[in-house]
Structure 1
């Protein structure tokens, strides 16, 4: 299962949304969202439901008219608060639900994407009709709840329960006991044969969110690993995993690893669970055996969520920078000594994809607040959105934790960002031209 992670960025322990078009998440989640267990907004008036389509859909399902920006903002805020609560460091790692956490991530990103799709549709209609359309026709109180592709969080979790039940039926039909290998064979048959789950070689949004993968049966390697872990957990079978090179591999927690590497019908159980990367001679995974498996560092639930978020950052950054082939987050740091770092030289990136990458990096920083490389990348993404003040703040914090040689590279860049921030403020007051700084 190929998984490529960024040397990402992130920040504060708890974050909530302060502005939807430019989400900046502050410490301290709003009180009314702390006890949410799914993406529900209470109402006191008429009850209507808005069903958000999957990320790949062209537009959200609406009730009538336009949706309130406040509604989407509160959905984003609720999903972020739920995510923060789900991975709280007050919880033991074993008590963290991978499925719930990833569904909260899906809810936040889907609400953001749906908001932008609706604003685009609204603008198009406005141009066609030549009239002024309100973006706040419907009141939030008219909505009972927001659904993720037509289902509540509990319904998506039930999808995993159904898969586990199918495995139990498969075991009963074979009239066998619950030997580890037999259970794994049953899981493999149900997931990959009966239900048709498969690893997608195409990296896109549809294959990168848990609810869309459960629906389409096609997903990224890390998501299929998480589904495998969650199904086996429901069968009281512990599946562990570890990063090996660019791959993330999973296997059952057992003292007899030899059985996993026995080849039957051309494939080992370890290979069926982990996909073709195990058989690829170019992969480090192909060198593993029952002995070397014992020497791997087992990933915690928080580690797995971190790997998933790093992949999500990579996905959205790649989409955001698709018109600037080869552009890396740290590219602007290289020519900084050439004195060409100014607002006009920043490449134009796709704003919605860039914002989704920033949202993922914010969540990753909740998990890894002291990772200086993650914070550097987060600051650089803020620079690309021309949010110079926030970029200066993140990069300045990064410099305090970064190795000396990295801090020396960042220092002149941060000084230039200070000037860009002053110039931006100067222009916002109506002044023309460049500001001269002695």
Structure 2
């Protein structure tokens, strides 16, 4: 595959077995395409040092809540990381290097930093893909507490998550069990990319939008809706051969799609027939 070096590294990382994917490395390779001078090893070393600083501050009794309190104090009091509510849709909030440099981000990137330092102090945690607001929780037995890094590491119970959903969506939302299930590394990266996709779509930045969707398709190569989105972008950018391939693949997977007639018309304009 003829990818830029950063994308080759991203691809190599995500093709590993699920449990071997290094989220921090993958996120930094994702960012390196936007910031070509970025040195991933510098930021990995920074995460290592942050974990060492936390280890020095850990109490002698390593109870989970005490460890969480120690991480919270270090990240949100000493280093003053915070959730960027004022400029939530700044794309820098979605790039790990920028979040580490600026000490501000959105729920998923702040969660990533929290997960990475927790991993380095042997305190296993997992990502929780709650709709609209990413959380994390300790991966210890059946411990059902959740941590909200966007809100200074606030500790939540399931009923608090229910209330958080209501606040986010402005109406009562049923808390389904799957909302609080742990997510794997590929889902985590896909959700980061989904945030960037929404930002670049809003900004009408077609070049960056295409790069995001291309990386989403590296994670899930045959996702029909992503193929449709990429095909439409290729069409707008005048890359008709690639556009036709994607739109034909989309229609072959979902032949009765609601927009099938529109896709057929675009293929006709490009001189392709089905």
Match of 1:52 in 2: none
Is residue 187 of structure 2 the alignment partner of residue 187 of structure 1?
Answer: no
Give me the whole-angstrom Cα distance separating, in 2, the residues matched to 1:154 and 1:231: 15
Give me the whole-angstrom Cα distance separating, in 1, the residues matched to 2:14 and 2:131: 26
SS of the residue 1:16 aligns to: coil
Is residue 84 of structure 2 the alignment partner of residue 157 of structure 1?
Answer: no
Match of 2:2 in 1: 16
Contact kept in structure 1, 2:201 and 2:209, CA below 8 Å = yes
Question: Which stretch of the first structure deviates more once superposed, 406-415 or 213-222?
Answer: 406-415
Alignment equivalent of 2:239, drawn from 369, 383, 387: 387
Give me the whole-angstrom Cα distance separating, in 1, the residues matched to 2:173 and 2:267: 48
Alignment equivalent of 1:317, drawn from 197, 201, 213: 201
Give me the whole-angstrom Cα distance separating, in 2, the residues matched to 1:85 and 1:260: 31
Match of 2:150 in 1: none
Give me the whole-angstrom Cα distance separating, in 2, the residues matched to 1:162 and 1:293: 36
Q: Provide the aligned length of Structure 1 versus Structure 2.
A: 262
- How big is the alpha-carbon RMSD for the aligned residues of Structure 1 and Structure 2? 2.9
Contact kept in structure 1, 2:13 and 2:26, CA below 8 Å = yes
1:270/1:412 Cα in 2 relative to 1: closer, same or farther (>3 Å)?
A: same
Gaps of 5+ in 1: 1-14, 18-76, 112-146, 262-266, 321-352, 422-438
1:405/1:107 Cα in 2 relative to 1: closer, same or farther (>3 Å)?
A: closer
Match of 1:373 in 2: 225
Tell me the CA shift for residue 248 of structure 1: 2.1
Give me the whole-angstrom Cα distance separating, in 1, the residues matched to 2:268 and 2:61: 68
Match of 2:126 in 1: 240
SS of the residue 1:110 aligns to: coil
Structure with max Cα Rg: 1
Is residue 9 of structure 2 the alignment partner of residue 82 of structure 1?
Answer: yes
Give me the whole-angstrom Cα distance separating, in 2, the residues matched to 1:299 and 1:368: 15
Is residue 187 of structure 2 the alignment partner of residue 303 of structure 1?
Answer: yes
Q: Which has the higher contact order (CA 8 A, sep 6+)?
A: 1
Contact kept in structure 1, 2:31 and 2:96, CA below 8 Å = yes
SS of the residue 1:245 aligns to: coil
Tell me the CA shift for residue 157 of structure 1: 0.5
SS of the residue 2:119 aligns to: helix
More helix by share: 2
Alignment equivalent of 2:266, drawn from 414, 423, 435: 414
